[in-house]
Amino acid sequence: MLFNSIDFLIFYPIVFLIYWIFFRNDINKRNLFLLIVSYIFYGWWDWRFLFLIALSSTTDFFIGQLIYKADNPSLKKRYLTISLTISLGILFIFKYYNFFIDSFVQTFTLLGKPINYHGLKLVLPVGISFYTFQTLSYSIDIYRNKLKPTKNVIKFFTFVSFFPQLVAGPIERATHLLPQFDKKYDFNYDQIVKGLELVLIGLLKKVVIADRLATYVDAVYNNHQYHNGTTLYMATIFFAVQIYCDFSGYSDIAIGVAKTFGFDLMKNFKTPYFAVSMKDFWKRWHISLSTWFKDYFYISLGGNRCSKLRQKFNLLATFVVSGLWHGANWTFVIWGAVHGVTQIIENSLNLKSNREYSIIEKAVRMIVVFHIVCFAWIFFRADSLSQAMQIIAKIFEFRLALPYLDVVNALFFGLISLFIYMIIDYFEYRNIKIFRYMRTRKYIYASIIIIILSIGVFNEGQFIYFQF
C-alpha cells in the first residue's frame, strides 16, 4: 500500500479512529491491533510475502532469547551466527542470488568458457532489506549486551512490522522503538497536528517535487543517446533532488503517521545537500542506514581501532556493501565505492568539516560536495555501467545546447518543483518553522494543498526506495 494512494487515504483514517476510540487504554490489545493492521498494510501488495516477515520475526524473537540465556561466549556467537545466516540467507536468495549467478556466468563467458544457466524467477519482496536490518540489529544488540530481549511476542512482531516505517524505514533500533510499545499514549492534539503537518510536507515533496522532476529525468535518462550533455547534466541535478524528496518525503510521512499514534521515529534526513564534506553528507543522508552500517558493520570490521591502511579498507568495504544493499547491480557497487573513495581522500587530506567557514568558503564546499554526490547518482540512476559511462562522457563534453522540445514542458514544471524544494530545505537548514505561527498556519496549509492539487502528479508512483 502506497502512502500516495487512494487505498491509504481510506485505510489511514479508519485505523486512526479505531485506534484512538477502542485501543487507547489497553497496551496489549493496542499492540495486537497495530500488528494486524500492519500485516494488512504489507499484505495489500502481495499477501504471500507475509510469511517472510513472519519468519524473520519468529527467528530473531526466539534466537534473541537463546543468545541472552547462553552462558558462554562461543554459544552466544553460535546463536548469533544462526540468526545472521537465516536472515541474510533469505535476503540473499531473493535479492542477490541472480546477481551473483549472472556475474559468475558472465565471467566464464569472457574467459571463453560459456555456461548455459538461467537464474531463478523471483519477485523482490518490498521492504525486505529494511525489516531484515531491523531484526538483525535486535539480535546483535542482545549479543553485545546492549539490550534485553522481550518476552512479549506480539510486541516484537509489531516492532518489526510497524506499518508507518515497514517498507522503507527509517530503520529503527530495538533500543529506541521497542520500549515505546510498552507505553500508554494519551490523545495529544498538538502532537497529532505536528504529525499531520509532516505528512503534508512529505506529500508535497513526493507528488509535487519528486514525481514532477521524475517526468524530466525519466524522459532524458531512458533516451540518453538522443540527448546532449546539457540536458543530461540538468537531468542528473533533477534526479539528485528527485531521489532526496522522494525518500525524505516517505520518511516525513512515516514519522508523521507514527506521531499521530503516539510513537516517535528517528529523523532520517537533515538537509543533505547543504553538506560541506562527504562525511558531513552521510551525517545528513539516510541517517538510519548510515548509522546502522557504522555500528554493525564498520565497527565490526575494526573501525578506527586499527592501522591507517586497515581503516581505509574498512571505510571502503562499508560503502561498497552499503551500495550493494541498495540493489543487485554493479552500478550500485560503483556508487558506494565513489562515496567510500572520496571519504578516504578527505581523511587523507585532513579536510575537517566541523569548523566554521566563511560564507564564500562554505558555499564553494557545498557546491563541490553536491556535484560529487551528483556524479555518484549517475551510477545509481543508470541501468548499466555502460549507460552510466556514456552519460558521463556526454556531460563532460559540456556542449551548451537547448533541451529538446519533447522535454521542455517537463523541464518547466521541474524548475518550479526545484524552486519549491529549495525553499523547503532552506527553511529547514535555517531552522525556520513553516507552521510556527497560529495566525498564518491555516493559510500555509491552504497554500500547500492548493500546490499539491494544482501541479502534483497523482499517478500513485511507487517510492524509489521500495525497490531496495
For 206-261, the pLDDT digits (tens) are 999 999 899 889 989 998 888 888 889 999 999 999 999 999 999 999 999 999 99
* CA 140 vs CA 53, 67, 143, 174, 239: distances in Å: 18, 9, 5, 10, 35
How many Cα atoms within 13 Å fall on the side-chain side of residue 156? 24
Nearest one of 414, 373, 378 to 395, comparing CA atoms: 378
Q: To 10 degrees, what angle do helices 27-46 and 153-161 make?
A: 40
Weakest mean pLDDT among 112-116, 177-181, 368-372: 112-116
Active site residue 371: no
What is the reported pLDDT for 459? Answer: 75
Is pLDDT larger for residue 431 or for residue 97?
431
CA–CA separation, 103 vs 117, rounded Å? Answer: 11
Rounded to 5°, the CA angle 197-198-203 comes to: 100
**Average pLDDT score over residue span 171-196:** 93
**pLDDT tier, 116 (very low <50, low <70, confident <90, very high otherwise):** low
CA–CA separation, 64 vs 79, rounded Å? Answer: 8
CA–CA separation, 37 vs 162, rounded Å? Answer: 9
pLDDT over 80 at 460, yes or no = no
Residue with cell 525519466: 218
What stretch of H or E contains 283? helix 278-284
Residue with cell 558531513: 280
CA–CA separation, 323 vs 331, rounded Å? Answer: 8
Rounded to two decimals, what is the model's pTM? 0.91
**pLDDT tier, 463 (very low <50, low <70, confident <90, very high otherwise):** confident
User: Around Cβ 264, how many Cβ atoms within 10 Å?
Assistant: 13
Percent of the chain with pLDDT over 70: 90
Weakest mean pLDDT among 175-189, 190-204, 446-460: 446-460
Nearest one of 212, 219, 217 to 239, comparing CA atoms: 217
Q: What is the DSSP string of 105-126?
A: HHHHHHTT----------PPPT
Q: What is the pLDDT of residues 371-416, one digit of tens each?
A: 999 999 999 999 999 999 999 999 988 666 656 655 767 777 788 8
Q: What is the pLDDT of residues 247-297, one digit of tens each?
A: 999 999 999 999 999 999 999 999 999 999 999 999 999 999 999 999 999
What is the reported pLDDT for 272? Answer: 95
What is the reported pLDDT for 331? Answer: 93
Residue with cell 556466468: 105
Rounded to 5°, the CA angle 422-424-426 comes to: 65
- SS3 state of residue 270: coil
pLDDT over 90 at 167, yes or no = no
What is the reported pLDDT for 141? Answer: 94
Nearest one of 319, 315, 324 to 100, comparing CA atoms: 324
For residue 2 the three cell numbers come to: 502506497
User: Around Cβ 231, how many Cβ atoms within 10 Å?
Assistant: 23
* CA 411 vs CA 19, 171, 407: distances in Å: 44, 34, 6
For residue 439 the three cell numbers come to: 495566525
Q: How far is CA 32 from the centre of its chain?
A: 27
**pLDDT tier, 154 (very low <50, low <70, confident <90, very high otherwise):** very high
**Average pLDDT score over residue span 158-172:** 90
How many Cα atoms within 13 Å fall on the side-chain side of residue 235? 30
**Average pLDDT score over residue span 23-27:** 87
For residue 72 the three cell numbers come to: 558462554
Task: Give the chain's radius of gyration (CA, Å).
Answer: 23
What is the reported pLDDT for 431? Answer: 87
Q: To 10 degrees, what angle do helices 330-349 and 385-397 make?
A: 50
What is the reported pLDDT for 198? Answer: 94
What is the reported pLDDT for 467? Answer: 67
Helices and strands, counts by H and E, the chain:
20, 0
Domain boundaries, the chain: 25-184, 190-467
Q: Which of 224, 227, 286, 326 is catalytic?
A: 326
